[in-house]
Amino acid sequence: MPFSKGSLLLVDYTARVKDTNEVIDTTSEEEARKHNIHDPNKVYEPRLVSVGDGWVLKGFDEVLLGANLNEEMTVEIPPEKAFGVRDPNKVRLIPLRKLGDKADQVNVGDVIEMDNRVGIIRSISSGRVQIDFNHRLAGRTIEYRFKVLKCLEDDMEKATALIRRRMPVDASKLRLTLNSGIMEIMVPQEYYMQEGLQIIKRAIANDIFRYVQSVKSIRFIEVYERVEEVKEKEGEKVGEGEGRGAGTGTEVEVVEAKSKTDEEVKVEAGVEAEKRVKEVERVEEKGKEEEKEEEKEKIQEGQDVQPQPQPQPQQQAHVQAESKVQG
């Protein structure tokens, strides 16, 4: 049966370049390994597609509108509805020196970014480099072999799939409820420190509001619990008021992490400061005593002879200069 624009489908597919048979994308892990494009960080599973909303290539989007459920199909997508036709004006020949520090490092086939555009180096010769800013697959016909496995109808199924599109975690780790138009989503703990989490949540909310009409409000919940250290001491008797494992003879001790109050922090800081002051006073007193002892030794050694200190050459010159001024 044909699908309508905005239908949420789960689709299995493999896409390849027609004239070279190069596999460029697939939802099958087996196919990815077979064609040496396997990505260990990618989750291989049927892809969620909103029909007619540009989530896939334009030509493939149009084909899905008329596809049938559970029917395996093979279609060819022409360049103008895939990655575009090749544009000769997007191929530039520039002096190699314009690449700056990268000039001695680039090779033919390298992908570089220049003027906020991504290009491929096609040739290097006579101090010049040819850069092609067309898409790598521009001008190529793309072949899709696919099957629509399911059209999502249930609101909770839709919400789960939309969340996993932005947070690719196992579905068993997701906890969400929907009551009276209010959806609560428990954020998986592994995403608490995820860079750009607020942007991800905003995107999820936008998707759910668009495709799940029964949701009027969304709450993202993050739960942070106090870390408790639990120690088990086998063979010891449990004292009065302590819990006992039934029939196990095991004592469980729970040690809670306790935060210091502001008053306790101030008291500790004052005690520490007083200790430092006393240490400084002790060092100064010891230094004074040592100076007195040195002075006594000097007096005893030099009390018979008190030689007059001779002025240094610089001092003599200064004295002579003063005498001339006075004269």
State whether 72 and 118 are in the same domain: no
Domain count, the chain: 3
Lowest mean pLDDT among 10-24, 97-111, 218-232, 249-263: 249-263
pLDDT per residue as tens digits for the range 5-55? 999 999 999 999 999 999 999 999 999 999 999 999 999 999 999 999 999
Which of 175, 136, 143, 130 is closest to 156 using CA atoms? 175
pLDDT for 92 beyond 80 = yes
Confidence of residue 261 (pLDDT cuts 50, 70, 90): very low
State whether 125 and 26 are in the same domain: no
Overall average pLDDT of the 245-255 stretch: 38
The domain that holds 143 is classified in CATH as 3.10.50.40
pLDDT for 257 beyond 50 = no
- Which residue, 178, 210, 235, sits at the end of a domain? 235
For residue 36, the model assigns a pLDDT of 95
- Which residue, 212, 235, 258, sits at the end of a domain? 235
Q: Considering the domain boundaries, does residue 322 fall inside one? A: no
For residue 276, the model assigns a pLDDT of 65
State whether 76 and 104 are in the same domain: no
State whether 69 and 212 are in the same domain: no
For residue 272, the model assigns a pLDDT of 61
State whether 66 and 191 are in the same domain: no
Average pLDDT over all residues of the chain:
81
State whether 75 and 114 are in the same domain: no
For residue 274, the model assigns a pLDDT of 66
For residue 1, the model assigns a pLDDT of 59
CA distance 215 to 159: 10
Lowest mean pLDDT among 50-59, 83-92, 197-206, 267-276: 267-276
Q: Considering the domain boundaries, does residue 58 fall inside one? A: yes
For residue 226, the model assigns a pLDDT of 85
For residue 292, the model assigns a pLDDT of 66
Q: How far apart are the first and last CA of the chain?
A: 122
State whether 36 and 143 are in the same domain: yes
State whether 7 and 128 are in the same domain: no
pLDDT per residue as tens digits for the range 114-165? 888 999 999 999 899 999 999 999 999 999 999 999 999 999 999 999 999 9
The domain that holds 113 is classified in CATH as 2.40.10.330
Distance of CA 164 to the CA centre of its chain: 18
State whether 25 and 142 are in the same domain: yes
State whether 1 and 147 are in the same domain: yes
For residue 154, the model assigns a pLDDT of 96
Distance set, CA 205 to CA 38, 183, 210 (Å): 31, 10, 9
CA distance 135 to 119: 8
Q: Percent of the chain scored above 90 by pLDDT?
A: 60
Q: Considering the domain boundaries, does residue 252 fall inside one? A: no
Distance set, CA 169 to CA 165, 213, 254 (Å): 9, 24, 32
Helices (H), 167-261: 197-211
Q: Considering the domain boundaries, does residue 246 fall inside one? A: no
For residue 280, the model assigns a pLDDT of 62
pLDDT for 323 beyond 50 = no
State whether 19 and 147 are in the same domain: yes
Domain span at residue 53 reads 1-85+136-151
Torsion angle of alpha carbons 132, 136, 141, 145, nearest 10°? 180
pLDDT per residue as tens digits for the range 165-211? 999 988 888 999 999 999 999 999 999 999 999 999 999 999 999 99
Q: Considering the domain boundaries, does residue 28 fall inside one? A: yes
For residue 171, the model assigns a pLDDT of 87
Q: Do β-strands 217-221 and 182-186 pair in parallel, antiparallel, or remain unpaired?
A: parallel
288 sits in which H/E element: helix 262-302
